[in-house]
Amino acid sequence: MDLLEIRQLSLNFSGIVALSDVHMAVKKGQIHAIIGPNGAGKTSLFNCLSGVYVPTEGDILVEGKSIIGLKPHKIAKLGIARTFQNIELFANMNVIDNLLLGRHIHMKSGPFSGSFFIGKTLREEVKNRLKVEEIIDFLEIEKVRKQLVGSLPYGIQKRVELGRALTMNPKILLLDEPAAGMNLEETEDIARFVLDINEELGITILLVEHDMGVVMDIVDEITVLDFGSQVANGSPREIQANPKVIEAYLGQEE
């Protein structure tokens, strides 16, 4: 069974068609890319997956179970984590707190026990802090641990956002343009992290990216969207040679 399956998905905004009849499947353990021109509906698709938008039609199955109509926090519990196209960090918290928020679904303390901060709550905080420190190590952001994220450089913010998604221990990680606005060096770092996450942590990754260098080099499979509908699906090599894709998206190589 595929880990994630999207069936005949359509999404309209009062007349504007964002997605129409999209169907695709993501296999467990793969890195799957979605590419397409601007406004093709990639981010909208992610929003449907994480429950921010409710699709007009169609179905989304995670491990065979439909997640249509579920609130975002429920979907998060099912193991879907994501990053955003425009960084959506909690700007007034420091890095540790941002990552700890990622642990929200794995923690239990409520308002009463939280007010006292002894016993179980304390133990829980410390335990999750350990987990967070692991991720911080993994992403090499030890230096900025206690800084407010708002004041961090763009590249580091993107990395923190990635970290926040990782602390959720997801099954599927949705990355929306992780390399946008990055220089070469940072893009390389991100590419490396994506591969590591996939290989070492075994997390399935769904990736939206305009940097064809990254996409073609690291992903296993690509789905191409245009005007909300799917135009192609296949391995990087196939996609690169697909005339439809070249015409709508890649452009002629000069």
Instruction: Please give the residue ranges that form the binding site for ligand ATP (CB under 6 A).
Output: 13, 16, 18, 36, 38-44, 85, 153-154
Contact 74, 58 (CB under 8 A): no
Least Å distance, CB 69 to Mg ion, is 23
Q: What is the dihedral of CA 95, 97, 103, 107, to 10 degrees?
A: 160
Q: Which residues contact 55 (CB under 8 A, 6 or more apart)?
A: 9, 10, 11, 19, 48, 68
Min dist. Cβ of residue 105 to another protein (A)? 4
Count CB-CB contacts under 10 A for residue 33.
Answer: 25
Q: Does 50 bind another protein (CB under 8 A)?
A: yes
Cβ-contact 18, 226 below 8 angstroms: no
Beta bridge partners, 208, equal: 34, 176
**132 in Cβ contact with 182 (< 8 Å):** no
What track of x and - describes contact with Mg ion for positions 85 through 124 (by CB under 5 A)?
x---------------------------------------
Asked if 50 touches Mg ion (CB under 5 A), the answer is no
Q: How many CB atoms lie within 10 A of CB 118?
A: 8
Residue ranges in 108-147 that form contacts with another protein under rule CB under 8 A: 108-111, 114-117, 121-122, 124-126, 129-130, 133
Residue 37 binds to another protein (criterion: CB under 8 A): yes
Total binding residues toward another protein, as defined by CB under 8 A: 82
1's contact among ligand ATP, Mg ion, another protein, none, with CB below 5 to 8 A by partner kind, is: none
* 56 near Mg ion, judged by CB under 5 A: no
Q: Are 183 and 121 in contact (CB under 8 A)?
A: no
Of 41-49, 66-74, 155-163, 217-225, the window that binds Mg ion (rule: CB under 5 A) is 41-49
- Between 4 and 174, name the residue whose CB sits nearer to Mg ion: 174
